[in-house]
Amino acid sequence: MKILIVLTSHDVLGSTGRKTGFWLEELATPYYHFRDAGWDITLASPHGGRAPLDPKSNEPQFQTDQTRRFEADAEAEALLGATDRLGSVSADDFDAVFYPGGHGPLWDLAEDPTSITLIEQMVRAGRPIALVCHAPGAMRHTTAADGTPLVAGRQVTGFTDSEEAVMGLTEVVPFLVEDELVAHGAVFSRVRDFEPHVVVDGSLITGQNPASSGPAAVELISVVRNLET
């Protein structure tokens, strides 16, 4: 199996003067689920090259066994340091797609035409795709074949308004993931802040927060295997 992991290239947290990017746990934990399943992993980002890590995600309180494993893994670090340019890859070459979150995607992947097309192609074709935490915000401009919002009537989750408030970034981010998905007709569900929560709607899988990244990866693997049978 071949999986494409799409990372942000955006590293500036609005006007705060702070850095952002992807959230380490949301890459590391799924990465090892996919690798341990024997899948061939490709990393891509809008600009290609090294994808920016949100430095906050590597603070001691957010580190896990999997993030430490990733940082000590020369092969994984090499992939991260040389991601493919998103415009150079084709959805047809992959069995599944995974989008880690972090705040970066709200600025670039949510507006990137190549990312938008990739998501539309996967969802419209019923091919498995998972988006976690802030990454479901990358569906804000996606549409179904009839021109209606892609998420309209679909069961989804993502980083909640209350979780963003806890982060103190409600007025910093360009939009709130929960509000944006609801505004486009999604049936949004949530659990308590920062508790694992994954929603599966056919081949579309969404996770609420960093703690949901591993379970979302497990669900994605399950969906792919079910399609094989």
How far apart, in whole angstroms, are the C-alpha atoms of residue 116 and residue 195?
28
Indicate the pTM of the whole model.
Answer: 0.98
What pLDDT does 229 receive?
75
Task: pLDDT band for 111, please (50, 70, 90 cuts).
Answer: very high
Q: Into which CATH architecture does domain 2-228 fall?
A: 3-Layer(aba) Sandwich (3.40)
* Mean pLDDT of the 27-56 span: 98
Residue 38's nearest CA partner among 227, 229, 226, 225 is: 225
Segments of 30-91 assigned E as strands: 40-45, 84-85
Q: What angle do CA 17, 159, 147 make, to 5 degrees?
A: 105
